[in-house]
Structure 1
């Protein structure tokens, strides 16, 4: 069970970190999406930093479990909030995308609890 927890945690960290870095780099495809969802431009840097911090927290959580739990809960809340934002912008076909990022984080939390 420990191996599954480590692998899923690293996958979740990789996905969240990637998502945060492309936002911080202002990749054109993410900028277009955020504009479509009407996310204020002033929030973009903080949202990217939150995702990168969550990714780092998941990795640190492998050694310090409480940090991993806090990072995981924060990321799940973040991605559920992102899904709500997408739905409020009426881009219903895009709602699954943030949930795809939340899924491995949630799985890491469950596996961490079971381990």
Structure 2
């Protein structure tokens, strides 16, 4: 069971770490998503920091389990907020969101079941 936990956690941390970097360096994809959803571009660094905190929290959760659970919970809430932004903007392109959200849910599930 620990191998599954470790696999999901490392994958999720890498995924959200890359997403955080994309937000922080101002990559075109997060900018275009922000424009589509009506999110101010000034929020991009903050959103990147939140994603980075989630990724680092997942990694820290390997040593301190409560940190991993809190980080995974925070990422689930983050992507529920992203879902609300999609609905508010009447944007129904949910494939990328679904991938990120399901990864956060999987990270939360393995944190809760493995510890």
Question: TM-score by structure 2 length?
Answer: 0.92
C-alpha distance in 1 between matches for 2:30 and 2:92: 17
User: Following TM superposition, where does structure 1 have runs of at least 4 consecutive aligned residues deviating by more than 6 angstroms?
Assistant: none
Task: Give the drift of 1:113.
Answer: 2.0
Counterpart of 1:87 in structure 2 is: 87
Counterpart of 2:104 in structure 1 is: 105
Within a 5 Å distance, the mapping from 1:1-115 to structure 2 comes to 1-93=1-93, 95-115=94-114
Q: Is the 8 A contact 1:80 1:99 kept in 2?
A: no
Question: TM-score by structure 1 length?
Answer: 0.92
2:63 aligns to what SS in structure 1?
Answer: coil
Root-mean-square deviation (Å): 1.1
Task: Give the drift of 1:68.
Answer: 0.5
| Deviating more after overlay: 28-37 vs 71-80 | 28-37
Task: Give the drift of 1:34.
Answer: 0.6
Q: Is the 8 A contact 2:69 2:112 kept in 1?
A: no
C-alpha distance in 2 between matches for 1:82 and 1:43: 13
Unaligned runs of 5+ in 1: none
